A and B are shown apart, each in its own frame.
Chain A
Amino acid sequence: MRSSLYEKDKGLISIKNELALVYDYIELEKMRFEERLQLKTNIDNNLINYKIPTLCIQLLVENAIKHGIDLKVGGGVVFLKVKKKDSKIYITVENPGVINQNKSVGLGLENLKKRLEIQYIGKASFSLTEIENTNVCAEIIIPMHIDDEKI
């Protein structure tokens, strides 16, 4: 986990490495949440060498646990998807819960939006939506630039 944190200076990280960090983090949180926390993934393996902003998936997963799983007595499933569509990468993290309307967007998501803006100059986007009042879905859409393919 620490080794991955050092890479934050570079700004970008391969999806593969980011996922390794996320999985380590989930393992750690499972010690705390035990059967209350489950992770389901659907990752397009052709994408794992693409680079994305460091810790962006980590942030979404942390939020899913902190604002979703942690509030549910019975816990639930964090569903992480990395997909490609129309030469864009879709990273989605879904968790049980609802969006707290009283709370304005926190620092983490605010920073994420800024980083996406700086890195992709308006071509990337972030959204947070509620699904049928039971789940919350956070989604990052990143364009697949040629530049990003370099490892």
Chain B
Amino acid sequence: MKRYKTIIIDDERLAREEVKRALEKHPEFEIIGEASHVDEAISLIEEIKPDILFLDIHMPGKSGFDLLEELTNVPDVVFTTAYDQYAVKAFEMNALDYLVKPLRDERFSKTIEKVKEELSKRVKIEPTTLPMHQKIFIKDGEKCHFIPLTDIHFIESLENYARLYFGSDKAMIKRSLNLLAEKLDPKVFFRVNRSQMININYIKEIHPYFNNKLQIILTTGEKVEVSSRQSVRFKNWNSL
């Protein structure tokens, strides 16, 4: 039997007990940790690297949404909360499910089925760069996103921040472009110059430019100028 590493995060012990009790009927979920607040949860998640979180939203200090924002690798998440007002936001972040406490066995079983189905799709790899199918969590001001890396077509740096463009949306995160370059698959995300990076799958046209540089136009409309150095790299890298 495949076993999934599970962490329960809720500030109330009784609420954690409730999730535990509900999970007793589903032995493939192995509860390997519990946390009562976000900071405790973060160290636990980074240490254990769980497959799935049962996560409360409203907690003292930092919320469940804050937690996801602080993680670099976000496990799958089922939100458990006493409120229904966060549902839309939770699903915007691609939560696997959203449970309103108190938990009912029948409803919980449906959640479990959904979670098992999702988790079985995940392929276990330990990459240095994030796999392209991975979804990342971004919180930009009040807006949260949970999007696959494949959706990001363009990244530009703004001092200590990076602005990610995906679909018709964009969001700022506090990460340098250098740091992102280390995390992202170099075969997909190409650093065209000091301040911009593109997803090569979105290249629509390439034009020669002055000084042996290249100009690239993305399917999404952005026009970028490839620096001389990177133009050479791009040509070498993509030639027979």
Task: Give Cα A9 to B61, complex, Å.
Answer: 38
In the complex, A70 Cα to B11 Cα: how many Å?
9
Whether B37 sits at the interface, judged by CB under 8 Å, is: yes
Interface membership of B13, Cβ < 8 A = yes
B118: CB under 8 A from chain A? no
Residues of B within 8 A of A73 (CB): 11, 36-37, 60-61
Task: Let me know if A32 and B12 touch, CB within 8 A.
Answer: yes
Give chain B's interface secondary structure class. Answer: loop
Evaluate contact between B12 and A33: CB separation under 8 angstroms.
Answer: yes
Give the Cβ gap from B35 to chain A, nearest Cβ, in Å: 11
A72: chain B residues at CB < 8 Å are 60-61
Name A75's closest neighbour in chain B (CB-CB): B60
Is B14 an interface residue, CB under 8 A from the partner?
yes
**Cβ of B36: which chain A residues have Cβ within 8 Å of it?**
73
Q: Is B61's CB under 8 angstroms from A71's CB?
A: yes
Contact A71 B12 (CB under 8 A): no
Question: Is the C-beta of A121 less than 8 angstroms from some C-beta in chain B?
Answer: no
Residue total for A at the interface (Cβ-Cβ under 8 A): 9
Residues of B near A32 (CB, < 8 A) are 12, 14
Q: Point out residues on B near A: beta carbons under 8 Å.
A: 11-14, 36-37, 60-61
Chain B residues whose CB sits within 8 angstroms of the CB of A31 once the complex forms: 14
Docked complex Cα distance between A31 and B11 (Å) = 12
Give the distance in Å from the alpha carbon of A72 to the alpha carbon of B62 in the complex: 10
Q: How many contacts A-B (CB < 8 Å)?
A: 18
Q: Which A residues are CB-close (under 8 A) to B14?
A: 31-32, 34
Chain A interface residues (CB < 8 Å from chain B): 31-34, 70-73, 75
A38 to chain B, nearest CB (A): 15
Is the pair A70, B60 in contact by a Cβ cutoff of 8 Å? yes
- Complex Cα distance, B236 from A4, in Å, reads 81
Most buried by B among A31, A70, A71, A73: A73
Closest to B58 in A: A70
Chain A residues lying within 8 Å of B37, measured Cβ to Cβ, are: 73
17 A–B contacts from the bound complex (CB under 8 Å): A31-B14, A32-B12, A32-B14, A33-B12, A34-B12, A34-B13, A34-B14, A70-B60, A71-B60, A71-B61, A72-B60, A72-B61, A73-B36, A73-B37, A73-B60, A73-B61, A75-B60
Bound-complex Cα distance A24 to B88 (A): 35
CA distance A32 to B12 in the complex (A): 6
Residues of A within 8 A of B12 (CB): 32-34
| A32 and B37 alpha carbons, distance in the complex (Å) | 15
Closest to B59 in A: A73
Smallest CB separation, A96 vs chain B (Å): 11
CA distance A34 to B14 in the complex (A): 9
- A34 vs B61: C-alpha distance when bound (angstroms): 17
Query: Among the interface residues B12, B13, B60, which one has the most CB atoms of the partner chain A within 10 A?
Result: B60
Complexed CA–CA distance, A31 and B166 (Å): 46
Distance A24 CA – B179 CA, assembled complex (angstroms): 54
Q: What is the bound-complex CA distance between A55 and B227, given in angstroms? A: 71
Residues on the A chain within 8 Å of B60, using CB? 70-73, 75
Min distance, Cβ B65 to any Cβ of chain A, angstroms: 15
> Which 10 residue pairs of A and B lie closest in terms of their CB atoms, listed nearest first?
A73-B60, A73-B37, A73-B61, A71-B60, A72-B60, A32-B12, A34-B13, A70-B60, A31-B14, A32-B14
Alpha-carbon distance between A72 and B59 when the two chains are bound, in angstroms = 9
B107 to chain A, nearest CB (A): 22
Nearest residue (CB) in B for A35 is B13
Residues on A with beta carbons closer than 8 Å to the beta carbon of B61: 71-73
The distance from the CB of B13 to the nearest CB of chain A, in whole angstroms, is 6
A86 to chain B, nearest CB (A): 39
